[in-house]
Structure 1
Amino acid sequence: MQNRTPRMPEQLAPNHDGPDARFTAELASVLTGARRRALRDGDRQIDTAHLLHSLIETDPEVREVFDGGPQPARVLGYLVQRSIGYGLRWQGSVEDSGAVPVVRPPAVDGWSPSALAAMEGALYRAASRGEARACGLDLLAALASDTDSRAAEVLSRGGVDARRLADRVAALRAGAARQG
């Protein structure tokens, strides 16, 4: 019997340290939550909306970066509705925003191409600051930067300007890197 639990794609993690070794412990927890959510919802793949949902639920630093007020709650409201109506049109389809040319099969280890691109983007953002591990804010910026992703659609429906959010996170991370 084949295991239905998606694993982290090998190109995102070194083989010797376990599947989530290039992410902080908090971000590894987010990825685990996204896997559980996709399995529970009966989705074929973990997509950017799963990642966003788990990220907002799990990471207080991510919730703090929004403009304040009810934005995170509104976004979570859309995400919670995913399995009962909103997002049902996504079931059975592969998320691919086209942000990164897909040269691999669309269902790599159960992750959508856009989710893979977001995780790769998070790792790139961390590496560009000289950090070995990506954190939740790196993933949030990567998710918000891909304006054609499901995560960006959910952010928009929740009243969040995804591009502005990505810029705010980038500025925050750059400022932290200069101070660190």
Structure 2
Amino acid sequence: MAILVGGAIGVVLGLTVACGVGRRQRRMKALAARRAAEADLRAALAPAADLLAACLAAGAGPRAAADAVGRSFDGPVGERLRRVAAELRLGAEPSATWQRFGALPGARELARCMERAGISGVPAVEGVSRVAAGLRAAAHRAAAERARRAGVLVTLPLAACFLPAFLAIGVVPVLLGLAEGLMAGG
């Protein structure tokens, strides 16, 4: 900017633009990291819901199921399930405990099913299985969308390489030949 505008105003303007670009890049990186973490969390919820449904189908209660599945998972899902099991073991209110688990992105329906089972004793196998199927379908849709996006992003460098080559090898010689013919004939 200092070269384009010149002088002290150009230096100040250049520094301002540089600071703005740096701030935007940091925000974009933070947003990408947050989206990646949320996608990983959503991907871990589907198998956790499947395991919860299997534990419930085997006759375990919501607390025992949460404890067993929580011990088999690392990361936020396992940690939250272990915390839910510990709180329920200590006599915490199932409604509040499962609502905190439901604060995880994508876990609200699963938490509602488990909360109903914990409060009323209603079997939650069908509801949890349905939620698990929905989470798996959402994970498949997200993966397909990422694959489509990657396919588009891969073509951009190819176009950037092949288009200039096509112009230089295919179009420019034809145009030069036509121009030479016109100059010789004229």
TM-score, normalised to structure 1, is: 0.27
More helix by share: 2
Q: With CA pairs under 8 Å and 6+ residues apart, which has the higher RCO, 1 or 2?
A: 1
